[in-house]
Structure 1
Protein backbone atom coordinates (compact mmCIF):
# COMPACT_ATOMS: atom_id res chain seq x y z
CA UNK A 1 0.00 0.00 0.00
CA UNK A 2 1.19 3.52 -0.76
CA UNK A 3 -0.24 6.83 0.41
CA UNK A 4 -2.35 7.29 -2.74
CA UNK A 5 -4.12 4.03 -1.89
CA UNK A 6 -4.86 5.32 1.60
CA UNK A 7 -5.76 8.98 1.04
CA UNK A 8 -4.94 12.08 3.07
CA UNK A 9 -7.31 11.81 6.03
CA UNK A 10 -6.70 8.10 6.76
CA UNK A 11 -2.95 8.73 6.47
CA UNK A 12 -3.11 11.55 9.02
CA UNK A 13 -5.19 9.43 11.39
CA UNK A 14 -2.69 6.60 11.09
CA UNK A 15 0.46 8.65 11.70
CA UNK A 16 -0.99 10.76 14.54
CA UNK A 17 -2.54 7.90 16.49
CA UNK A 18 -0.65 7.42 19.73
CA UNK A 19 1.46 10.57 19.51
CA UNK A 20 2.52 11.64 23.02
CA UNK A 21 0.35 14.37 24.54
CA UNK A 22 1.47 16.15 27.68
CA UNK A 23 -0.98 17.39 30.30
CA UNK A 24 -0.97 20.94 28.92
CA UNK A 25 -2.34 19.83 25.53
CA UNK A 26 -6.02 20.79 25.32
CA UNK A 27 -6.51 19.90 21.63
CA UNK A 28 -4.01 17.80 19.69
CA UNK A 29 -4.07 16.59 16.07
CA UNK A 30 -7.33 16.78 14.15
CA UNK A 31 -8.47 20.40 14.35
CA UNK A 32 -7.45 23.57 12.53
CA UNK A 33 -4.92 24.31 15.28
CA UNK A 34 -3.52 22.62 18.33
CA UNK A 35 -4.57 24.28 21.60
CA UNK A 36 -2.11 24.44 24.50
CA UNK A 37 -2.60 25.77 28.04
CA UNK A 38 -0.90 29.15 28.36
CA UNK A 39 -1.89 31.18 31.42
CA UNK A 40 -4.96 32.10 33.43
CA UNK A 41 -6.39 34.35 30.69
CA UNK A 42 -5.42 32.76 27.36
CA UNK A 43 -4.60 29.52 25.59
CA UNK A 44 -2.03 29.22 22.81
CA UNK A 45 -2.83 28.13 19.27
CA UNK A 46 -0.18 26.30 17.24
CA UNK A 47 -0.31 25.81 13.48
CA UNK A 48 1.95 24.86 10.59
CA UNK A 49 1.14 24.85 6.88
CA UNK A 50 3.08 24.75 3.63
CA UNK A 51 2.61 25.61 -0.01
CA UNK A 52 4.46 23.88 -2.84
CA UNK A 53 5.16 25.04 -6.39
CA UNK A 54 3.00 23.25 -8.99
CA UNK A 55 0.56 22.26 -6.21
CA UNK A 56 -0.47 25.54 -4.57
CA UNK A 57 0.98 28.02 -7.08
CA UNK A 58 2.44 28.02 -10.56
CA UNK A 59 6.00 29.02 -11.52
CA UNK A 60 4.83 32.25 -13.20
CA UNK A 61 2.74 33.39 -10.20
CA UNK A 62 3.80 36.76 -8.79
CA UNK A 63 6.04 36.11 -5.80
CA UNK A 64 4.34 38.76 -3.65
CA UNK A 65 0.99 37.00 -4.03
CA UNK A 66 2.62 33.68 -3.11
CA UNK A 67 4.01 35.24 0.06
CA UNK A 68 0.64 36.66 1.03
CA UNK A 69 -1.04 33.29 0.48
CA UNK A 70 1.59 31.36 2.44
CA UNK A 71 1.00 33.28 5.66
CA UNK A 72 -2.71 34.04 5.12
CA UNK A 73 -3.43 30.29 5.10
CA UNK A 74 -2.14 30.03 8.67
CA UNK A 75 -4.03 33.17 9.73
CA UNK A 76 -7.21 31.55 8.37
CA UNK A 77 -6.67 28.58 10.67
CA UNK A 78 -6.33 30.86 13.68
CA UNK A 79 -9.60 32.52 12.60
CA UNK A 80 -11.28 29.11 12.45
CA UNK A 81 -10.56 28.63 16.17
CA UNK A 82 -11.87 32.08 17.08
CA UNK A 83 -8.34 33.27 17.84
CA UNK A 84 -5.73 35.78 16.72
CA UNK A 85 -2.33 35.33 15.05
CA UNK A 86 0.71 36.23 17.12
CA UNK A 87 4.13 35.14 15.78
CA UNK A 88 5.12 33.21 12.66
CA UNK A 89 8.25 31.41 11.46
CA UNK A 90 9.10 30.84 7.80
CA UNK A 91 10.91 27.87 6.27
CA UNK A 92 11.94 28.48 2.68
CA UNK A 93 13.20 25.64 0.46
CA UNK A 94 14.32 26.75 -3.01
CA UNK A 95 16.69 25.61 -5.78
CA UNK A 96 20.00 27.52 -5.93
CA UNK A 97 19.20 29.18 -9.28
CA UNK A 98 16.25 31.09 -7.74
CA UNK A 99 16.48 34.82 -8.39
CA UNK A 100 17.17 36.91 -5.28
CA UNK A 101 14.53 39.40 -6.42
CA UNK A 102 11.92 36.60 -6.34
CA UNK A 103 12.76 35.84 -2.71
CA UNK A 104 12.60 39.52 -1.80
CA UNK A 105 9.19 39.88 -3.41
CA UNK A 106 7.99 36.72 -1.65
CA UNK A 107 8.90 38.21 1.71
CA UNK A 108 7.31 41.50 0.75
CA UNK A 109 4.00 39.68 0.37
CA UNK A 110 4.45 38.00 3.73
CA UNK A 111 5.23 41.35 5.32
CA UNK A 112 2.10 42.94 3.83
CA UNK A 113 -0.08 40.23 5.36
CA UNK A 114 1.68 40.51 8.74
CA UNK A 115 1.22 44.27 8.83
CA UNK A 116 -2.41 44.05 7.74
CA UNK A 117 -3.36 41.56 10.46
CA UNK A 118 -0.98 42.80 13.15
CA UNK A 119 1.35 39.88 13.85
CA UNK A 120 5.11 39.31 13.75
CA UNK A 121 7.33 37.21 11.53
CA UNK A 122 10.16 36.35 13.90
CA UNK A 123 12.55 34.11 11.95
CA UNK A 124 12.73 30.73 10.32
CA UNK A 125 15.02 28.61 8.16
CA UNK A 126 16.26 28.41 4.59
CA UNK A 127 17.43 25.36 2.68
CA UNK A 128 18.46 24.57 -0.85
CA UNK A 129 17.00 21.76 -2.88
CA UNK A 130 18.22 20.16 -6.07
CA UNK A 131 18.34 22.24 -9.23
CA UNK A 132 14.95 22.73 -10.92
CA UNK A 133 13.07 21.22 -7.96
CA UNK A 134 9.86 22.98 -6.89
CA UNK A 135 10.01 25.69 -4.26
CA UNK A 136 8.32 25.11 -0.91
CA UNK A 137 7.34 27.65 1.74
CA UNK A 138 6.32 26.37 5.17
CA UNK A 139 4.83 28.62 7.84
CA UNK A 140 4.62 27.71 11.52
CA UNK A 141 3.05 30.02 14.03
CA UNK A 142 1.52 30.75 17.37
CA UNK A 143 -1.79 32.43 18.05
CA UNK A 144 -3.86 33.04 21.13
CA UNK A 145 -7.45 32.69 22.18
CA UNK A 146 -9.30 33.51 25.38
CA UNK A 147 -8.94 30.67 27.88
CA UNK A 148 -11.37 27.84 27.21
CA UNK A 149 -12.90 29.69 24.25
CA UNK A 150 -11.29 27.98 21.25
CA UNK A 151 -14.03 26.91 18.82
CA UNK A 152 -13.50 23.31 17.73
CA UNK A 153 -14.68 21.10 14.89
CA UNK A 154 -15.85 18.45 17.31
CA UNK A 155 -18.61 20.27 19.23
CA UNK A 156 -21.49 20.68 16.76
CA UNK A 157 -24.90 19.64 18.09
CA UNK A 158 -27.84 17.78 16.57
CA UNK A 159 -30.16 20.28 14.87
CA UNK A 160 -27.55 23.02 14.50
CA UNK A 161 -27.78 25.07 11.32
CA UNK A 162 -24.78 25.03 8.97
CA UNK A 163 -23.47 28.39 7.70
CA UNK A 164 -20.77 29.52 5.29
CA UNK A 165 -19.36 32.99 4.79
CA UNK A 166 -18.56 34.50 1.41
CA UNK A 167 -18.87 32.79 -1.95
CA UNK A 168 -17.40 29.43 -2.89
CA UNK A 169 -15.65 27.92 -5.89
CA UNK A 170 -13.45 29.38 -8.58
CA UNK A 171 -10.15 29.36 -6.71
CA UNK A 172 -8.35 28.57 -9.95
CA UNK A 173 -9.30 32.07 -11.16
CA UNK A 174 -6.84 33.50 -8.64
CA UNK A 175 -8.77 34.27 -5.48
CA UNK A 176 -6.74 31.65 -3.59
CA UNK A 177 -3.78 34.04 -3.86
CA UNK A 178 -5.53 37.21 -2.67
CA UNK A 179 -8.05 36.10 -0.06
CA UNK A 180 -8.48 37.83 3.28
CA UNK A 181 -8.80 35.48 6.26
CA UNK A 182 -12.03 36.01 8.22
CA UNK A 183 -10.32 36.94 11.50
CA UNK A 184 -12.59 39.88 12.28
CA UNK A 185 -15.77 38.01 11.39
CA UNK A 186 -14.77 34.93 13.41
CA UNK A 187 -13.98 37.05 16.45
CA UNK A 188 -17.33 38.83 16.12
CA UNK A 189 -19.15 35.52 15.86
CA UNK A 190 -17.30 34.15 18.88
CA UNK A 191 -18.20 37.18 20.97
CA UNK A 192 -21.84 37.55 19.99
CA UNK A 193 -23.06 34.09 18.98
CA UNK A 194 -20.49 31.49 20.00
CA UNK A 195 -20.75 28.97 17.12
CA UNK A 196 -20.97 25.41 18.36
CA UNK A 197 -18.29 24.31 15.85
CA UNK A 198 -16.19 26.02 13.20
CA UNK A 199 -13.44 25.43 10.65
CA UNK A 200 -12.12 27.12 7.54
CA UNK A 201 -12.85 25.84 4.05
CA UNK A 202 -9.53 24.84 2.53
CA UNK A 203 -10.37 21.61 0.68
CA UNK A 204 -13.95 22.29 -0.45
CA UNK A 205 -17.32 21.79 1.24
CA UNK A 206 -17.46 18.20 -0.03
CA UNK A 207 -14.31 17.37 1.93
CA UNK A 208 -14.47 19.74 4.90
CA UNK A 209 -18.10 19.43 6.00
CA UNK A 210 -17.78 15.63 6.42
CA UNK A 211 -14.66 16.26 8.50
CA UNK A 212 -16.58 18.53 10.85
CA UNK A 213 -19.45 16.05 11.06
CA UNK A 214 -17.14 13.13 11.76
CA UNK A 215 -15.29 15.07 14.46
CA UNK A 216 -18.64 15.91 16.09
CA UNK A 217 -19.93 12.32 15.68
CA UNK A 218 -22.95 13.58 13.74
CA UNK A 219 -24.39 13.49 10.26
CA UNK A 220 -25.52 16.40 8.13
CA UNK A 221 -27.95 17.38 5.41
CA UNK A 222 -26.61 19.90 2.90
CA UNK A 223 -28.86 21.84 0.52
CA UNK A 224 -26.46 22.14 -2.39
CA UNK A 225 -28.83 24.48 -4.22
CA UNK A 226 -28.16 27.07 -1.51
CA UNK A 227 -24.38 27.04 -1.81
CA UNK A 228 -23.24 30.61 -2.60
CA UNK A 229 -21.18 30.32 -5.79
CA UNK A 230 -18.50 32.74 -6.93
CA UNK A 231 -19.11 34.47 -10.24
CA UNK A 232 -18.63 31.98 -13.04
CA UNK A 233 -18.64 28.99 -10.68
CA UNK A 234 -21.05 26.08 -10.47
CA UNK A 235 -22.37 24.13 -7.52
CA UNK A 236 -19.79 21.46 -8.31
CA UNK A 237 -17.06 24.11 -8.11
CA UNK A 238 -18.41 25.27 -4.76
CA UNK A 239 -18.32 21.71 -3.46
CA UNK A 240 -14.95 20.69 -4.80
CA UNK A 241 -12.56 23.43 -5.86
CA UNK A 242 -11.20 24.17 -2.38
CA UNK A 243 -9.00 27.04 -1.22
CA UNK A 244 -11.99 29.27 -0.46
CA UNK A 245 -10.70 30.04 3.06
CA UNK A 246 -14.19 31.03 4.17
CA UNK A 247 -15.68 30.05 7.53
CA UNK A 248 -17.84 26.95 7.85
CA UNK A 249 -19.66 26.92 11.19
CA UNK A 250 -22.67 25.55 13.03
CA UNK A 251 -25.08 27.41 15.26
CA UNK A 252 -28.15 26.44 17.24
CA UNK A 253 -31.43 26.92 15.40
CA UNK A 254 -32.69 29.31 18.07
CA UNK A 255 -29.83 31.75 17.34
CA UNK A 256 -29.57 31.20 13.59
CA UNK A 257 -32.45 33.46 12.61
CA UNK A 258 -31.15 36.34 14.73
CA UNK A 259 -27.67 35.98 13.21
CA UNK A 260 -29.07 36.01 9.68
CA UNK A 261 -30.95 39.21 10.53
CA UNK A 262 -28.05 41.25 11.89
CA UNK A 263 -25.03 39.87 10.03
CA UNK A 264 -25.47 42.17 7.04
CA UNK A 265 -25.67 45.21 9.29
CA UNK A 266 -22.08 44.50 10.30
CA UNK A 267 -20.69 42.88 7.13
CA UNK A 268 -22.80 44.04 4.19
CA UNK A 269 -20.16 43.02 1.63
CA UNK A 270 -19.70 39.44 2.89
CA UNK A 271 -22.54 37.01 2.20
CA UNK A 272 -23.65 34.65 4.97
CA UNK A 273 -25.65 31.62 3.90
CA UNK A 274 -27.39 28.83 5.79
CA UNK A 275 -26.77 25.71 3.70
CA UNK A 276 -28.04 22.83 5.83
CA UNK A 277 -28.24 21.35 9.29
CA UNK A 278 -26.58 18.76 11.52
CA UNK A 279 -28.39 15.54 12.32
CA UNK A 280 -27.93 12.31 14.24
CA UNK A 281 -28.93 10.46 11.09
CA UNK A 282 -26.44 9.29 8.51
CA UNK A 283 -24.90 12.04 6.38
CA UNK A 284 -25.82 12.43 2.78
CA UNK A 285 -23.03 11.32 0.46
CA UNK A 286 -20.81 14.02 -1.04
CA UNK A 287 -18.20 13.55 -3.74
CA UNK A 288 -15.28 15.78 -4.55
CA UNK A 289 -13.00 18.10 -2.63
CA UNK A 290 -9.23 18.19 -2.59
CA UNK A 291 -7.12 15.29 -1.33
CA UNK A 292 -3.35 15.70 -1.66
CA UNK A 293 -2.89 12.03 -2.38
CA UNK A 294 -6.08 11.47 -4.36
CA UNK A 295 -6.48 14.71 -6.36
CA UNK A 296 -10.07 15.58 -7.33
Structure 2
Protein backbone atom coordinates (compact mmCIF):
# COMPACT_ATOMS: atom_id res chain seq x y z
CA UNK A 1 0.00 0.00 0.00
CA UNK A 2 1.35 3.43 -0.88
CA UNK A 3 2.16 6.01 1.77
CA UNK A 4 -0.56 8.34 0.47
CA UNK A 5 -3.60 6.17 1.33
CA UNK A 6 -1.99 5.08 4.61
CA UNK A 7 -1.40 8.67 5.65
CA UNK A 8 -4.94 9.51 4.58
CA UNK A 9 -6.34 6.82 6.82
CA UNK A 10 -4.14 7.84 9.76
CA UNK A 11 -5.31 11.42 9.44
CA UNK A 12 -8.91 10.16 9.64
CA UNK A 13 -8.25 7.75 12.52
CA UNK A 14 -9.17 10.13 15.41
CA UNK A 15 -12.47 10.98 13.75
CA UNK A 16 -13.49 7.41 12.96
CA UNK A 17 -12.50 6.32 16.48
CA UNK A 18 -14.66 9.12 17.89
CA UNK A 19 -17.57 7.86 15.78
CA UNK A 20 -17.09 4.22 16.78
CA UNK A 21 -16.73 5.11 20.47
CA UNK A 22 -19.92 7.15 20.52
CA UNK A 23 -21.72 4.35 18.70
CA UNK A 24 -20.52 1.57 21.00
CA UNK A 25 -19.71 3.17 24.35
CA UNK A 26 -16.70 0.85 24.49
CA UNK A 27 -13.25 2.20 23.68
CA UNK A 28 -11.59 -1.18 23.16
CA UNK A 29 -14.38 -2.27 20.80
CA UNK A 30 -14.09 1.05 18.98
CA UNK A 31 -10.39 0.42 18.42
CA UNK A 32 -11.21 -3.01 16.99
CA UNK A 33 -13.71 -1.42 14.61
CA UNK A 34 -11.14 1.12 13.45
CA UNK A 35 -8.65 -1.67 12.82
CA UNK A 36 -11.23 -3.65 10.85
CA UNK A 37 -12.04 -0.54 8.83
CA UNK A 38 -8.35 -0.13 8.09
CA UNK A 39 -8.13 -3.70 6.77
CA UNK A 40 -11.06 -3.03 4.46
CA UNK A 41 -9.51 0.28 3.42
CA UNK A 42 -6.23 -1.48 2.60
CA UNK A 43 -7.99 -4.00 0.35
CA UNK A 44 -10.35 -1.57 -1.33
CA UNK A 45 -10.05 0.10 -4.68
CA UNK A 46 -9.01 3.78 -4.57
CA UNK A 47 -11.67 5.72 -2.67
CA UNK A 48 -13.01 8.95 -4.17
CA UNK A 49 -14.32 10.48 -0.94
CA UNK A 50 -12.48 8.84 1.98
CA UNK A 51 -14.44 10.53 4.82
CA UNK A 52 -17.78 9.35 3.44
CA UNK A 53 -16.44 5.85 2.72
CA UNK A 54 -14.95 5.46 6.20
CA UNK A 55 -18.04 6.84 7.93
CA UNK A 56 -20.27 4.35 6.11
CA UNK A 57 -17.96 1.40 6.83
CA UNK A 58 -17.42 2.26 10.49
CA UNK A 59 -21.11 2.94 11.10
CA UNK A 60 -22.15 -0.39 9.64
CA UNK A 61 -19.44 -2.28 11.53
CA UNK A 62 -20.75 -0.69 14.71
CA UNK A 63 -24.35 -1.56 13.86
CA UNK A 64 -23.36 -5.20 13.53
CA UNK A 65 -21.58 -5.14 16.89
CA UNK A 66 -24.38 -3.32 18.71
CA UNK A 67 -26.78 -6.15 18.02
CA UNK A 68 -24.62 -8.66 19.89
CA UNK A 69 -23.57 -6.07 22.48
CA UNK A 70 -27.16 -5.58 23.58
CA UNK A 71 -27.48 -9.27 24.39
CA UNK A 72 -24.19 -9.21 26.34
CA UNK A 73 -25.24 -6.17 28.33
CA UNK A 74 -28.53 -7.80 29.29
CA UNK A 75 -26.50 -10.59 30.92
CA UNK A 76 -24.05 -8.16 32.54
CA UNK A 77 -23.59 -8.36 36.32
CA UNK A 78 -24.96 -5.17 37.85
CA UNK A 79 -25.34 -1.82 36.06
CA UNK A 80 -23.55 -1.48 32.72
CA UNK A 81 -21.68 1.80 32.20
CA UNK A 82 -19.67 2.94 29.17
CA UNK A 83 -15.88 2.76 29.18
CA UNK A 84 -14.44 6.12 30.26
CA UNK A 85 -12.06 7.93 27.95
CA UNK A 86 -9.53 10.47 29.19
CA UNK A 87 -9.97 13.29 26.70
CA UNK A 88 -11.05 16.85 26.14
CA UNK A 89 -13.32 18.02 23.32
CA UNK A 90 -11.56 19.85 20.52
CA UNK A 91 -11.86 23.64 20.48
CA UNK A 92 -13.59 23.63 17.09
CA UNK A 93 -16.39 21.29 18.19
CA UNK A 94 -19.93 22.59 18.52
CA UNK A 95 -21.87 22.35 21.78
CA UNK A 96 -23.86 19.43 20.32
CA UNK A 97 -20.69 17.59 19.36
CA UNK A 98 -19.25 18.11 22.83
CA UNK A 99 -22.48 16.91 24.42
CA UNK A 100 -22.46 13.72 22.35
CA UNK A 101 -19.20 12.72 24.07
CA UNK A 102 -20.39 13.39 27.62
CA UNK A 103 -20.62 10.34 29.82
CA UNK A 104 -24.22 10.94 30.82
CA UNK A 105 -25.28 11.17 27.18
CA UNK A 106 -23.54 7.88 26.36
CA UNK A 107 -25.54 6.27 29.18
CA UNK A 108 -28.79 7.60 27.71
CA UNK A 109 -27.88 6.27 24.26
CA UNK A 110 -28.22 2.76 25.64
CA UNK A 111 -31.99 3.27 25.40
CA UNK A 112 -31.85 3.39 21.60
CA UNK A 113 -31.98 0.76 18.92
CA UNK A 114 -28.76 0.46 16.89
CA UNK A 115 -30.25 2.37 13.95
CA UNK A 116 -31.60 5.13 16.22
CA UNK A 117 -28.23 5.43 17.91
CA UNK A 118 -26.48 5.72 14.55
CA UNK A 119 -28.88 8.46 13.41
CA UNK A 120 -28.44 10.34 16.68
CA UNK A 121 -24.64 10.10 16.76
CA UNK A 122 -24.22 11.06 13.11
CA UNK A 123 -26.56 14.02 13.48
CA UNK A 124 -25.57 15.32 16.92
CA UNK A 125 -21.93 14.29 17.04
CA UNK A 126 -20.85 14.85 13.44
CA UNK A 127 -23.43 17.24 12.00
CA UNK A 128 -24.49 15.01 9.10
CA UNK A 129 -27.66 16.00 7.27
CA UNK A 130 -30.65 13.68 7.23
CA UNK A 131 -29.98 12.99 3.55
CA UNK A 132 -26.36 12.01 4.28
CA UNK A 133 -27.48 9.82 7.19
CA UNK A 134 -30.00 8.11 4.93
CA UNK A 135 -27.23 7.35 2.45
CA UNK A 136 -24.93 5.98 5.17
CA UNK A 137 -27.66 3.76 6.66
CA UNK A 138 -29.18 2.72 3.34
CA UNK A 139 -32.65 4.07 4.15
CA UNK A 140 -34.85 6.82 2.78
CA UNK A 141 -34.43 10.37 4.00
CA UNK A 142 -37.88 10.16 5.61
CA UNK A 143 -36.78 7.06 7.53
CA UNK A 144 -33.58 8.79 8.62
CA UNK A 145 -35.60 11.70 9.99
CA UNK A 146 -37.90 9.30 11.80
CA UNK A 147 -34.96 7.43 13.35
CA UNK A 148 -33.49 10.68 14.62
CA UNK A 149 -36.85 11.90 15.94
CA UNK A 150 -37.41 8.64 17.84
CA UNK A 151 -33.87 8.82 19.22
CA UNK A 152 -34.51 12.34 20.54
CA UNK A 153 -37.76 11.16 22.13
CA UNK A 154 -36.09 8.19 23.85
CA UNK A 155 -33.09 10.17 25.05
CA UNK A 156 -35.30 13.06 26.09
CA UNK A 157 -34.49 16.69 26.04
CA UNK A 158 -31.15 17.10 27.75
CA UNK A 159 -31.30 18.57 31.23
CA UNK A 160 -30.03 22.08 31.36
CA UNK A 161 -26.29 21.79 31.67
CA UNK A 162 -24.40 23.48 34.42
CA UNK A 163 -22.87 26.22 32.34
CA UNK A 164 -19.63 27.16 34.03
CA UNK A 165 -16.01 27.40 33.13
CA UNK A 166 -13.80 24.32 33.12
CA UNK A 167 -12.03 25.67 36.21
CA UNK A 168 -15.34 26.10 38.08
CA UNK A 169 -16.45 22.56 37.24
CA UNK A 170 -13.09 21.19 38.26
CA UNK A 171 -13.30 23.12 41.53
CA UNK A 172 -16.67 21.54 42.36
CA UNK A 173 -15.28 18.05 41.75
CA UNK A 174 -12.22 18.82 43.87
CA UNK A 175 -14.47 20.03 46.73
CA UNK A 176 -16.56 16.89 46.33
CA UNK A 177 -13.41 14.76 46.68
CA UNK A 178 -12.16 16.67 49.72
CA UNK A 179 -15.53 16.48 51.48
CA UNK A 180 -15.77 12.74 50.80
CA UNK A 181 -12.30 11.99 52.15
CA UNK A 182 -12.77 14.30 55.16
CA UNK A 183 -16.20 12.90 55.97
CA UNK A 184 -17.54 16.46 55.89
CA UNK A 185 -21.29 15.75 55.79
CA UNK A 186 -22.50 19.38 55.61
CA UNK A 187 -20.15 20.11 52.71
CA UNK A 188 -21.12 16.91 50.91
CA UNK A 189 -24.80 17.61 51.42
CA UNK A 190 -24.40 21.03 49.79
CA UNK A 191 -22.71 19.36 46.80
CA UNK A 192 -25.47 16.79 46.14
CA UNK A 193 -28.90 17.33 44.62
CA UNK A 194 -31.81 15.98 46.64
CA UNK A 195 -32.53 13.34 43.98
CA UNK A 196 -28.90 12.34 43.36
CA UNK A 197 -28.30 8.79 42.09
CA UNK A 198 -25.06 6.80 42.42
CA UNK A 199 -24.23 3.90 40.08
CA UNK A 200 -21.31 1.48 40.30
CA UNK A 201 -20.09 -0.85 37.55
CA UNK A 202 -17.94 -3.71 38.77
CA UNK A 203 -19.10 -6.18 36.13
CA UNK A 204 -18.79 -9.04 38.63
CA UNK A 205 -15.00 -8.59 38.55
CA UNK A 206 -14.75 -6.50 41.74
CA UNK A 207 -17.12 -5.62 44.55
CA UNK A 208 -19.72 -3.05 43.52
CA UNK A 209 -23.36 -2.30 44.19
CA UNK A 210 -25.68 -4.08 41.79
CA UNK A 211 -28.45 -1.52 42.16
CA UNK A 212 -28.40 2.27 42.03
CA UNK A 213 -28.31 4.23 45.28
CA UNK A 214 -31.18 6.71 45.26
CA UNK A 215 -31.48 9.99 47.12
CA UNK A 216 -29.21 12.33 49.02
CA UNK A 217 -29.39 10.59 52.41
CA UNK A 218 -28.41 7.17 51.05
CA UNK A 219 -25.73 8.56 48.77
CA UNK A 220 -24.27 10.51 51.69
CA UNK A 221 -23.94 7.29 53.69
CA UNK A 222 -22.38 5.57 50.70
CA UNK A 223 -19.82 8.33 50.14
CA UNK A 224 -18.84 8.70 53.78
CA UNK A 225 -18.38 4.95 53.94
CA UNK A 226 -16.10 5.11 50.92
CA UNK A 227 -14.13 8.06 52.26
CA UNK A 228 -13.59 6.43 55.63
CA UNK A 229 -12.48 3.07 54.23
CA UNK A 230 -8.81 2.20 54.95
CA UNK A 231 -8.19 1.64 51.22
CA UNK A 232 -9.23 5.23 50.54
CA UNK A 233 -6.57 6.47 52.92
CA UNK A 234 -3.89 4.57 51.02
CA UNK A 235 -5.17 5.48 47.55
CA UNK A 236 -4.12 8.33 45.32
CA UNK A 237 -6.77 10.57 43.77
CA UNK A 238 -6.51 12.91 40.80
CA UNK A 239 -9.00 15.02 38.86
CA UNK A 240 -8.80 14.44 35.10
CA UNK A 241 -10.97 15.33 32.14
CA UNK A 242 -13.02 12.27 31.23
CA UNK A 243 -15.37 12.44 28.24
CA UNK A 244 -14.95 16.21 28.28
CA UNK A 245 -15.90 16.70 31.93
CA UNK A 246 -13.90 16.65 35.21
CA UNK A 247 -13.88 13.27 36.94
CA UNK A 248 -12.07 11.51 39.78
CA UNK A 249 -9.44 8.86 39.07
CA UNK A 250 -8.43 6.52 41.87
CA UNK A 251 -5.06 4.74 41.93
CA UNK A 252 -3.78 1.98 44.16
CA UNK A 253 -0.06 1.20 44.05
CA UNK A 254 0.10 3.17 40.80
CA UNK A 255 -2.69 1.18 39.11
CA UNK A 256 -5.97 2.79 38.03
CA UNK A 257 -8.74 1.08 40.02
CA UNK A 258 -11.72 3.41 39.59
CA UNK A 259 -13.07 6.30 37.58
CA UNK A 260 -15.86 8.31 39.21
CA UNK A 261 -17.77 10.63 36.90
CA UNK A 262 -20.03 13.18 38.64
CA UNK A 263 -22.69 14.79 36.46
CA UNK A 264 -23.25 18.37 37.55
CA UNK A 265 -26.58 20.15 37.60
CA UNK A 266 -26.85 23.70 38.90
CA UNK A 267 -23.44 23.38 40.52
CA UNK A 268 -24.19 20.13 42.36
CA UNK A 269 -23.76 16.43 41.67
CA UNK A 270 -26.95 14.93 40.25
CA UNK A 271 -25.53 11.59 39.07
CA UNK A 272 -22.38 9.81 40.24
CA UNK A 273 -21.21 6.98 38.01
CA UNK A 274 -18.25 4.90 39.10
CA UNK A 275 -16.49 2.40 36.84
CA UNK A 276 -14.61 -0.28 38.79
CA UNK A 277 -14.52 -3.11 36.26
CA UNK A 278 -10.79 -3.44 35.44
CA UNK A 279 -11.57 -4.44 31.86
CA UNK A 280 -13.26 -1.08 31.34
CA UNK A 281 -10.37 0.85 32.88
CA UNK A 282 -7.65 -0.61 30.66
CA UNK A 283 -8.10 1.90 27.84
CA UNK A 284 -7.99 4.95 30.15
CA UNK A 285 -4.98 3.48 31.95
CA UNK A 286 -3.19 3.05 28.62
CA UNK A 287 -4.01 6.65 27.69
CA UNK A 288 -2.50 7.89 30.95
CA UNK A 289 0.58 5.72 30.51
CA UNK A 290 1.09 7.01 26.97
CA UNK A 291 0.73 10.59 28.14
CA UNK A 292 3.21 10.02 30.93
CA UNK A 293 5.63 8.45 28.46
CA UNK A 294 5.43 11.50 26.21
CA UNK A 295 5.95 13.91 29.09
CA UNK A 296 8.83 11.80 30.40
What TM bracket, shorter-length normalisation?
Answer: under 0.3
The structure with the greater share of residues assigned to helix is 2
Q: Relative contact order: is structure 1 or structure 2 higher (C-alpha 8 Å, sep ≥ 6)?
A: 1
Q: Whose Rg is larger?
A: 2
Structure with more of its chain in strand, by fraction: 1
